[in-house]
């Protein structure tokens, strides 16, 4: 195999790995969005410490989603889902019951 052919083969392999990596990162982002959405639903149904715990988990998950989103090209559907989950977390933050101080 000539050097030029070998170089082209390596370039094609690198592009393939990049695409697969982005696909995996998008799948992880979408899974995290579903987890955050679930935490929001649980927080809506709970009160007190349980609500605060679920809200904290949703906030942490939303931060992870935001970090993941920086490394991938999002579809409009992904951006819309992120905005919807962000609104849900903000709404819960506004409604959350303050925990009693000990």
Are residues 58 and 36 in contact, defined by beta-carbon separation less than 8 angstroms?
yes
Cβ-based burial of 78 (10 A; exposed 0-12, middle 13-18, buried ≥19): middle
Domains and CATH numbers, the chain: 3-95 (1.20.58)
pTM of the model: 0.81
Q: What is the pLDDT along the chain (102 residues), one digit of tens a residue?
A: 688 889 999 999 999 999 999 999 999 999 999 999 999 999 999 989 999 999 999 999 999 999 999 989 999 999 999 999 999 999 999 988 665 665
Length of the chain: 102
User: What is the secondary structure of 36-68 as a DSSP string?
Assistant: HHHHHHHHHH--HHHHHHHHHHHHHHHHHHHHH
């Amino acid at each position: 195999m000539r050097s030029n052919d070998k170089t082209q083969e390596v370039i094609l392999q690198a592009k393939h790995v990049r695409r697969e990596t982005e696909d995996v990162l998008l799948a992880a982002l979408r899974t995290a969005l579903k987890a955050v959405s679930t935490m929001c639903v649980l927080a809506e149904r709970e009160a007190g410490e349980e609500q605060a715990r679920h809200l904290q988990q949703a906030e942490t998950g939303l931060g992870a989603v935001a970090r993941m989103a920086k490394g991938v090209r999002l579809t409009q559907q992904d951006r819309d889902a992120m905005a919807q989950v962000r609104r849900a977390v903000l709404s819960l933050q506004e409604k959350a019951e303050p925990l009693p101080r000990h």
